[in-house]
């Protein structure tokens, strides 16, 4: 039986991947896990030359990697442009190498595109967000071709859902979710 004849495969959802850096990946992950059309979110690292970096190495700010989330989404439900709209709202894209108290190159604002279409949409989205007047300063978000994705340790995945009562989640993540009207 070919794929064209298999109804289960024909009905399979076509998904795309977006890779985004917007500060601490726990905060970004928590937001995207609440967005309709997103099927999975994995925290990890991208953007540096070191192969298979550890969390400790990335935290030094010396590896060149950014903390990122790899978002798998259904473009029939959530377009890449809509996903980027959430990206602009969930962090401050005008602060180089910083989000709140998190400082260092690993916390930079970045869009890692996976093809030319994503690159064009990302550049247009950044231009539109910059011109919108929503930000007091110019957007500094880098738009770069995706490289290897290195998954963060298992205890860093799905962090908010596993640690809702933890102080970091209550002080940093929950206010962000409330601000975006996403809190469960």
Which one from 24, 27, 59, 169 is the annotated catalytic residue?
24
> Among 30, 36, 37, which Cα is nearest to 16's?
37
DSSP conformational letter for 79? -
Report helix, strand or coil for 104. Answer: coil
Residue 141 has which token pair?
């978000």
Nearest to 147 by CA among 60, 72, 66: 66
Query: 59 catalytic, yes or no?
Result: no
What is the distance between the alpha carbons of residues 137 and 131, in angstroms, rounded to a whole number? 11
Quote the distance between the C-alpha of residue 46 and its chain's center: 11
User: Catalytic site residues?
Assistant: 24
């Amino acid at each position: 039986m070919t794929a064209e004849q298999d109804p289960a495969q024909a009905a399979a959802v076509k998904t795309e991947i977006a890779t985004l850096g917007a500060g601490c990946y726990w905060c970004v992950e928590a937001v995207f896990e609440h967005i309709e059309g997103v099927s999975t979110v994995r925290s990890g690292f991208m953007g540096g030359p070191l192969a298979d970096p550890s969390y400790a190495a990335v935290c030094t700010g010396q590896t060149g990697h950014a903390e990122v989330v790899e978002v798998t989404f259904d473009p029939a439900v959530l377009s890449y442009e809509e996903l980027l709209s959430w990206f602009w709202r969930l962090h401050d894209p005008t602060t180089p190498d910083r989000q709140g108290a998190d400082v260092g190159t690993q916390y930079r604002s970045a869009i890692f595109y996976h093809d030319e279409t994503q690159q064009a949409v990302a550049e247009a989205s950044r231009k539109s967000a910059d011109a919108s007047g929503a930000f007091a300063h110019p957007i500094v978000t880098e738009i770069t071709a995706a490289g290897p994705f290195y998954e963060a340790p298992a205890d860093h995945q799905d962090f908010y859902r596993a640690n809702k009562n933890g102080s970091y989640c209550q002080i940093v993540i929950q206010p962000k979710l409330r601000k975006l009207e996403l809190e469960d």
